[in-house]
Amino acid sequence: MTPEEISVLIHTVHPDQRLAEKARWFQRQPGIRWLEPPARRAESAGLAAVPGAFPSGPGETPSGPGELKITRSGVFLTVSGESLYFHPSMALLRLLNIGRGEPDRFLEACGLRTGDSLFDATLGLGSDALVGAWAVGSTGSVRAVERSGILAALVGDGLNDLRRTTAGMGKNPEKERAWDRLREAAGRIEVLWGDHLEVLRNMPDRAVDVVYFDPMFRHTRSRSAAIQPLQRWAEKEPLSRESVREACRAARKRVVMKERKGSPEFDRLGFEVFSGGRYSSVDFGIVDLR
């Protein structure tokens, strides 16, 4: 089932050539329909009809229109007073920890190697996709699908900026190396808007090495300002058995799911539990296909 298209407004603050091009980029993204604002409001507030998408599919949706604000310091999606934005800080921290020799349970669960292909069926804000893209290296690839058109566009824009950025971490060589790896990883991610089940159905058998699901945002308890608003756009329905069956057909090595520790979803969907760590609130489920 194709996700429905709903609209938002774009507000470009102090527009210049770069911001105007960014607004045009958003206008070209799928999962979008135009929302025409009242002419006076558009003239007085600098608002323009621009594509976007509210949450699609099952679950609650925001009651009022949202606004995508494009500024020189970033792009922010606001609805009902809450803002959502892309920032790679969590992925950066994870790459720093990996560089220090600390394990990353997501990578261990997925078993990703250089040259592998990863299909991330639930992109969200892209942290796992970025870490996975680093792990597969320059000869690997990551495709990531997001059912919410506005989330897909927001993260796609953030990855584009991350690829182009020259900002580093100053005199900290360790952070500079991690930042460089993050920039390279961003260039390996292809962001898709759509329903992961439909995408999986259209994949050939054994098309990718690993398929990954993270349906956790439908019940996240995170207090992060960047995470809580995500629940408005996140998929609310539990992962379906059909999605897991299609993933097992399309994957060569593994199908992996992240869920809260002790979740009955592991048994319901046929995953073997791989511990996320003693102090972690999450575990991973694995279906090993080899």
Q: What are 31-45's pLDDT values in tens digits?
A: 766 565 554 344 444
**CB neighbours of residue 212 within 10 Å:** 27
- Residue found under tokens 């990996």: 98
Query: In a 10 Å sphere around its CB, with 0-12 CB exposed, 13-18 middle and 19+ buried, how is residue 86 labelled?
Result: buried
For residue 165, name the pLDDT band (cuts at 50, 70, 90): confident
DSSP codes of every residue in 36-62: ---HHHHHHHTEEEE------SSS---
Q: How far apart are CA 25 and CA 22, in angstroms?
A: 5
For residue 11, name the pLDDT band (cuts at 50, 70, 90): confident
Instruction: Please say if the pLDDT value at position 4 is more than 50.
Output: yes
Q: Give exposure, 179-209, as e/b (b: 16+ Cβ within 10 Å).
A: bebbbebbebbebbbbbbbebbeebeeebbb
Question: Model-level pTM?
Answer: 0.85
Please report the pLDDT score of residue 150 as a whole number. 87
More confident residue, 176 or 245: 245
Asked if 48 contacts 108 with a C-beta cutoff of 8 angstroms, the reply is no
Domain at 89-288: CATH code:
3.40.50.150
Read off the pLDDT of residues 222-267 as tens digits, 9 standing for 90 and up.
555 556 666 666 667 889 999 999 999 999 999 999 999 999 999 9
Please report the pLDDT score of residue 288 as a whole number. 97
- Residue found under tokens 């669960």: 109
Q: What is the mean pLDDT of the chain?
A: 83
More confident residue, 11 or 250: 250
Domain spans in the chain, listed from the N-terminal domain onward: 8-83, 89-288
More confident residue, 20 or 51: 20
Please report the pLDDT score of residue 5 as a whole number. 60
